[in-house]
Amino acid sequence: MMTSLVESLRAAGCVFAEEEAELLRGAARDDAHLVELLARRVGGEPLEHVVGWAEFCGLRVHVGAGAFVPRRRTEFLVQEAVALTRPGAVVLDLCCGVGALGAAVAAQSPGGVELHAADIDPAALAYARRNVAPYGGRVWEGDLYAALPAGLRGRVDVLVVNAPYVPTEEIALMPSEARRHEPLVSLDGGADGLDVHRRVAAGAPAWLARGGRLLIETSARQAPSTASALTSAGLSVRAVTCEERHATVVIATAAA
Ligand SMILES: C[S@@+](CC[C@H](N)C(=O)[O-])C[C@H]1O[C@@H](n2cnc3c(N)ncnc32)[C@H](O)[C@@H]1O
């Protein structure tokens, strides 16, 4: 069974066929279920959707059909956010998807945080609810800041954001696993990719605490435009990069 599993995965173009076979076996309830999972994977579904979890910052986060799979690149944003998070901080994961960033920041903050996560997509939020629950996190549904309770205004110490930033015309160039299995709302950032970034930036000052930080993932190419949107909103900015992970994050600070 194991050999044919590996062969089927390899024939379908899975580069890490042995590892994937192990993961599928681990996720299957029985042989019939394994056959079903294999068919989904061979049919092109992301491995994480098929097994029901993704590894992120050492956590197993719940994820599944119809949700964006957290990328390892985004672990860099979490690393930067944790360094800026004091015990008891109010942390908001905006455009949270399955809530991986917020959960990871909370998991790495020994003093605990007040965690909030928000997204427009109810399918993603169903997973986020489960992922932030161990940290007492609360989940809000709606369009950016409109989702949030008024009581959060001016109280957010650390705002982590991985919003869509792919320019519309470049969606067609993405791997088919993303194009076919992740919702367009999780990928499409508009003509230059920065529609959501501009709206996140414009709304941030009203929600950040004095001296609060906003960390937003972008690309090296788009970083100057992301930074300029945040500067226009009255925040001071710096960009940090991690070459190993091909990650760029703009960090903005509200006036103290
Ligand atoms: C690139 S995915 C990232 C998800 C998550 N932050 C992560 O890194 O795993 C972008 C997310 O932004 C959400 N989103 C897009 N437009 C939004 C909006 N106007 N308001 C709230 N969430 C939005 C999508 O539903 C999606 O979950």
Q: What is the pLDDT of residues 198-231, one digit of tens each?
A: 999 999 999 999 999 999 999 999 999 999 999 9
Contact between 107 and 81 under an 8 Å Cβ cutoff? The reply is: no
Please say if the pLDDT value at position 1 is more than 70.
Answer: no
Ligand 1 site: residues with CB under 6 angstroms?
Answer: 68, 70, 74, 95-97, 100-101, 119-121, 124, 143-144, 162-164, 185-186, 196
- Provide long-range contacts, Cβ within 8 A and 24+ apart, for 188-192: 188/164, 189/163, 189/164, 189/165, 191/167, 192/167, 192/222, 192/225
Q: How far is the CA of 186 from the centre of ligand 1 (A)?
A: 5
> What is the CA(74)–ligand 1 centre distance, in A?
13
Q: Are 156 and 148 in contact (CB under 8 A)?
A: no
Residue 2 has pLDDT above 80, yes or no: no
Nearest CA to ligand 1 atom 14: 95
Q: Which residue has the tokens 């992970």?
A: 245
Expressed in angstroms and rounded, the spacing between residue 29 Cα and the centre of ligand 1 is 31
- CA-nearest residue, atom 7 of ligand 1: 70
Q: Can you read off the two tokens belonging to residue 194?
A: 């920065």
Residue pair 75/91 in contact (Cβ under 8 Å)? The answer is: no
- Is the whole model's pTM more than 0.75, yes or no? yes
Dihedral sign from CA coordinates of 86, 127, 64, 25: positive
Ligand 1 centroid, distance to 217 Cα (angstroms): 12
Amino acid at 52: G
